[in-house]
Structure 1
Amino acid sequence: MSSSISARSGSVLSAYHDLVARGALTPDPAQVEAARALDRVLADLMAHRPKRLFGFFEKRPAAVRGLYLHGEVGRGKTMLMDLFHAAVPFGEKRRLHFHEFMDEVHAGIAAFRKSVRGKDDDADPVEAVVRPILRSGLRLLCLDEFHVHDIANAMLLDRLFSKLFAGGVTLVATSNVAPDGLYKDGLNRQLFLPFIALLKEKTVVADLPSAQDYRRLKFAGQHVYAFGAGPDVREAMDQMWLRITGGEPGEPGVVESIGRKIQVPLMAMGAARFGFADLCERPLGTRDFVRIAHQFDSMVLDGVPQMDRTKSDAAKRFILLIDSLYDRGVKLAASFAVPLEELGADDKTAFEFQRTLSRLTEMQSEDYLAKGLRDAAPAEAE
């Protein structure tokens, strides 16, 4: 999950109203309707839970009709998805970014094709990937930012989700585009149309027509960088954090990346807060930073030091981190020990560091802060 949101009441709408009451959210009629639509899925899932008979589960129930929630950036889709996932009381659920899920699928297909069974002429790699998913008991798949932009995924989705739906998996997805806009103008798009029909059959398609970009409001008119050290700088970052999260203090969490867990000191309302050492003085690489950039829409980074030859490795990671955040369009608030032009770098990273400084300068501009997230797919390898 990309926030510390909880739904202890078991209702998405109740959890939403709780956040409004605490001042973390501004009430929005469109978000209320979306919360009600998610509660319908939740109620259906609970009504069709598998029953135990003599200590064993009966045959798993058919998938209930899910939800495909689409709308412009910054309207609260991910936040509502977080509320929904937290409200589901059973463990047979997954919530991840669409690209992360497809990465796993492609990795599974590649591994199967290298196996002995995968070399048979009648081998079905999609079936091989779906089988363990169904054996795990998965009932609910929550995919954030559903967006199809390459032919490899486009040609795979119909067979993949036909098997998942047939196996009883319910899909809840968020997207910036309606189903009919998926893979628009893509190569051989006519072959993709059966998946769009399947998606409309297996989910209720709902628009989130909110007029306000709430993510943009959080940063409007703000000085997102602070310079120096001491309590004043820390206080400025604390206040920026609370502005971004709507007053929610946040709690620790994790980001999963290539089978390992990256510790997040604080996360709330789609934002994360790290110290420089948490990300740049640990053995993290490009793919880890891309995962983080896809997990959060905003970040607070504390204590970026002046970098010289003694911090060469940390400087390289800092460059990769900023590249990943910039390419994704993540909003950054940060504190620096010295002005940007004095951050420095050794001779080996001087050229790359100049690009980083240019990007940091752009990332504090009104133009950058006003833009939505970019659909940058996670890197395939470091």
Structure 2
Amino acid sequence: MGVGRVLQERVVSGTLKSSMAQAKAAKVLDRTLRGCILRKGRPWVGWSQRLLGEARGVYLSGAVGSGKTLLMDTLHVEARAENVATLRVHWHEWIGSVHRALHEARNAYASQTRKLRALGDALAHDTQLVCFDELAVHDVADALMLREIFARVLERGAAIVATSNRDPRDLYENGINRELFLPFIALLERHLVHCDLDTLANESGEALVDYRRDAASDGLSLYVTNGSARDVCAAVVGRPLRWTKRRVPVSYGRSIEIADDEVVATAHFEDLCARPLSAADYASLADRYDALVLTRVPQLSMQQHDQVRRLLWLVDILYDARMLLVIEADVPVDDLLDSGGFSREEEANTVLVRNHGGSSGRLTTIVGGGGGTEWSATGRIGASLGSVAGVTDARFAWSRLTSRLVEMTRSTAYLAAWRQRCHGRIHYGA
């Protein structure tokens, strides 16, 4: 049917507000979809040279809540309906999987470049359309990896669609050794059509709107500041919840202790966000459970780098999984981060890592020439791979988190999507 038609039907049914900016972006996405359908089932050999000079992907940018993920997810669903092999993944999860794959293949290839190209080959072999949500580049290792993998995927004839809060030219802004990343930006600009929803809205005379907040219902609140989140969850589920502590498997063969009642889990903030857990661990929980009650969530500051980063990961992954999240917090959602948290003093802590300093604290990725320089993940003293990056990126990430929390805890449409996720597997109360 196409992205544009789906949006029109939702507007007519009243489930989506009309937006000229989204309608214009949908036309570009539909061209990408038609290209994928045209190439479906055909070998990449013979296509690649012609495709290298052709735009066959889309880069969606714009403010938080502007509809980027909505558009990409609609494309993903429509592509699958046309039997186009499609991968849709959140950026955090995909980057983590790349680091793991590189670590596992460390002895299989003579050079890092060959490993990266092999990953690109595998990705393009299995999929015709790759959708990345919330593309962001925070460290030099990821910057160099992306250049090799994306080039290989595009060379093999697959299409790429990515969402981001940043313009392509602003990716990895002020990053260490950024000049090594510039060829990747050129690659994006050459092969992906850039649709900035903010610009399209301005051209159409539309006000910038956070559609997640706009869809929030005053009659629903799963974000509790005065009461029991566990009681609220029980009311939504429609039955009493009886918690049993158990150890559940997560990533890398590890396990964590959590309390649950069948597919509903509960944990304190410090248990999930103050301990050394990764995005892969949260993805494992999202695969196992349908709902999470997160209690004792404090007000945070940007000085609490690790806790902030993990909360961002957790919410992004649960949101992508359309999982129910009930939160019990000390302060309202818009006060969850101390308003003084984005001090420019944070950027003063950034240092340039030279030679062999700065181990990432997780899987170390070796990039560069014959010497194989080991880079810190962020170039910041004491920070590990995937840390919250510069102040501007942190602002984007936090705005996205609060916007998504509002939708997850106050949107009846999100609640309906969660019920659909659970349908046929377990019965929940009305």
2:209 aligns with: 212
2:330 aligns with: 361
Give the counterpart of 1:278 among 244, 263, 266.
Answer: 263
State how far apart, in whole Å, the 1-side matches of 2:111 and 2:107 are: 13
- Are 1:87 and 2:78 an aligned pair? yes
Unaligned ranges ≥5, structure 2: 202-207, 238-249, 254-259, 297-305, 340-397, 403-430
State how far apart, in whole Å, the 1-side matches of 2:144 and 2:4 are: 37
Matched to 1:372, the amino acid is: S
Cα distance change, pair 259–16 in 1 and its aligned pair in 2 (3 A): farther
Normalization by structure 2: what TM-score?
0.55
Give the counterpart of 1:43 among 11, 23, 34.
Answer: 34
| Cα offsets for 1:67-91 (capped at 9, x unmatched) | 0010011111111111001111124
Cα distance change, pair 280–47 in 1 and its aligned pair in 2 (3 A): same
Deviation at 1:29? 1.3
State how far apart, in whole Å, the 2-side matches of 1:329 and 1:31 are: 25
Give the counterpart of 2:119 among 119, 125, 129.
Answer: 129
Unaligned ranges ≥5, structure 1: 1-9, 52-56, 239-256, 261-274, 307-319, 341-359, 376-382
1:291 aligns with: 283
Superposition pairs of residues 141-156 of structure 1, within 5 angstroms: 141-156=130-145
State how far apart, in whole Å, the 2-side matches of 1:46 and 1:302 are: 38
Provide the secondary structure at the position in 2 that maps to 1:373.
Answer: helix
Cα distance change, pair 122–191 in 1 and its aligned pair in 2 (3 A): closer
State how far apart, in whole Å, the 1-side matches of 2:314 and 2:156 are: 34
State how far apart, in whole Å, the 2-side matches of 1:324 and 1:44 are: 38
1:164 aligns with: 153
1:271 aligns with: none
Provide the secondary structure at the position in 2 that maps to 1:149.
Answer: coil
Cα distance change, pair 24–114 in 1 and its aligned pair in 2 (3 A): same
Cα distance change, pair 29–197 in 1 and its aligned pair in 2 (3 A): same
Normalization by structure 1: what TM-score?
0.61
2:185 aligns with: 196
| Cα offsets for 1:152-209 (capped at 9, x unmatched) | 1112222221111111121111100110000000001111111101110011011111
The answer (yes or no) to whether the contact 1:276–1:303 under 8 Å persists in 2 is no
The answer (yes or no) to whether the contact 1:73–1:373 under 8 Å persists in 2 is yes
Cα distance change, pair 294–204 in 1 and its aligned pair in 2 (3 A): farther
The answer (yes or no) to whether the contact 1:142–1:173 under 8 Å persists in 2 is yes
| Cα offsets for 1:37-73 (capped at 9, x unmatched) | 111111222233345xxxxx68474456110010011
Q: CA RMSD in A?
A: 4.4
State how far apart, in whole Å, the 1-side matches of 2:294 and 2:336 are: 21
2:89 aligns with: 96
